[in-house]
């Protein structure tokens, strides 16, 4: 499993260098992910109609926008038919290609097709990158998010995940690109708050990880060394 280091933290940190921005897209719908990637890059570079069920490794496309060099990674990690080993290999592949580390994760979610199992799966995948990944995640929904219901658990899973990712979300819009520049602004805000230039993901298998650790990770919990004592 993944062990993680923070990235270039400094008490004198003022403004992150985002001239070379690395964005990792995490989403269950492959075509929506590619549409989002195309809009972020400002041109149709991903085939939005291409099937994704058999793709196990990260698509990677770069481009320049507003004087900023952007690389978007689309690692296809939330497909429900992918076994654990394939997901871990996919994370390692994405980590390798996003070296020295991603700046932000963008979760591309469909509210009408998102449940509690999806929430745990998302957190499990993010934890494979880093226990800090949630702090570096922006939620992007392709539809409106209804208010939280006190009478039913329906739609509450996405509210819980949004809260765990900092409490805000953006709505994907193919007409207006304002959300795209909001992603840039929020990325800078995240990096300034965490006082790091980017997130370093040291994705090596942890031989000391126990079954309890694995169960925690699969539920979306952190398995940092200092958290392990609480698991027993």
Distance, CA of 184 to CA of 18 (rounded, Å): 8
User: From CA 30, how far away is CA 47, in angstroms rounded?
Assistant: 10
Tell me whether residue 5 is in a domain.
Answer: no
**Rounded alpha-carbon distances, angstroms, from residue 45 to 107, 112, 154, 209:** 20, 27, 35, 40
> What is the rounded average pLDDT for all residues in the chain?
76
- How far apart CA 75 and CA 72 sit, in angstroms, is 10
pLDDT score recorded for residue 129: 94
pLDDT at 108 over 50: yes
The answer, yes or no, to whether residue 56 has pLDDT greater than 90, is no
In a domain, 86, yes or no: yes
Residues 6+ apart with CB under 8 A from 99: none
Q: Tell me the average pLDDT across 224-228.
A: 38
Q: Which phi and psi (to 5°) does residue 171 adopt?
A: -110, 130
pLDDT at 75 > cutoff 80: yes
DSSP annotation of 147: P
Tally of domains in the chain: 1
9 within domain boundaries = no
Q: What's the pLDDT at 225? A: 38
194 found inside a domain = yes
The residues near 131 (Cβ < 8 Å, ≥ 6 apart) are 4, 222, 223, 224
pLDDT higher than 80, residue 103: yes
Give the model confidence (pLDDT) of 12-34 as tens digits.
456 777 888 999 999 888 788 88
- CATH number for the domain spanning 64: value is 3.40.50.300
pLDDT tens digits for 144-162?
Answer: 776 666 545 556 888 899 9
Residue 154 lies in a domain: yes
Residue 231 within a domain: no
- Residue 182, domain extent: 20-207
The answer to whether residues 220 and 123 touch, using CB atoms and an 8 Å cutoff, is: yes
User: Could you tell me if 74 and 57 are in contact, meaning their C-beta atoms sit under 8 angstroms apart?
Assistant: no
Q: What is d(CA 6, CA 193) in angstroms, rounded to the nearest whole number? A: 13
Give residue-wise pLDDT tens across range 169-208. 888 877 777 888 889 899 999 998 888 888 888 654 444 4
The answer to the question of residue 96 being in a domain is: yes
The single-letter DSSP state of residue 107 is E
Q: Tell whether the model's pLDDT for residue 50 goes beyond 70.
A: no
Q: What is the DSSP letter of 61?
A: E
Mean pLDDT of 196-223: 55
Low-confidence winner among 53-57, 83-87, 144-148 (lowest mean pLDDT): 53-57
pLDDT of residue 105: 95
Task: Tell me the pLDDT band of 209, cut-offs 50, 70 and 90.
Answer: very low
**Residue 65: inside a domain:** yes
pLDDT band at 11 (very low <50, low <70, confident <90, very high): very low
- What is the pTM assigned to this prediction? 0.77
pLDDT recorded at residue 148: 65
Write down the pLDDT at residue 61. 85
């Amino acid at each position: 499993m993944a062990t993680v280091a923070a990235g270039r933290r400094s008490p004198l940190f003022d403004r992150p260098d985002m001239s070379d921005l690395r964005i990792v897209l995490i989403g269950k719908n492959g075509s929506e992910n590619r549409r989002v990637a195309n809009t972020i890059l400002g041109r149709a570079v991903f085939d939005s109609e291409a099937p994704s069920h058999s793709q196990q490794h990260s698509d990677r496309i770069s481009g320049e926008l507003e004087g900023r060099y952007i690389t978007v990674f689309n690692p296809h990690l939330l497909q429900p038919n992918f076994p654990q080993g394939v997901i871990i290999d996919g994370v390692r592949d994405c980590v390798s290609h996003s070296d020295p580390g991603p700046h932000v994760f963008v979760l591309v979610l469909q509210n009408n097709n998102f449940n509690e199992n999806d929430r745990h799966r998302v957190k499990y995948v993010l934890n494979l990158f880093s226990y800090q990944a949630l702090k570096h995640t922006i939620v992007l929904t392709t539809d409106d998010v209804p208010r939280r219901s006190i009478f039913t658990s329906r739609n509450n899973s996405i509210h819980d995940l949004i809260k765990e990712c900092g409490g805000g979300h953006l709505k994907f819009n193919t007409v207006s690109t304002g959300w795209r520049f909001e992603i840039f602004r929020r990325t800078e805000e995240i990096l300034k708050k965490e006082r790091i230039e980017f997130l370093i993901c040291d994705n090596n298998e942890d031989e000391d990880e126990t079954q309890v650790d694995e169960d925690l990770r699969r539920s979306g919990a952190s398995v940092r060394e200092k958290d392990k004592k609480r698991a027993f």
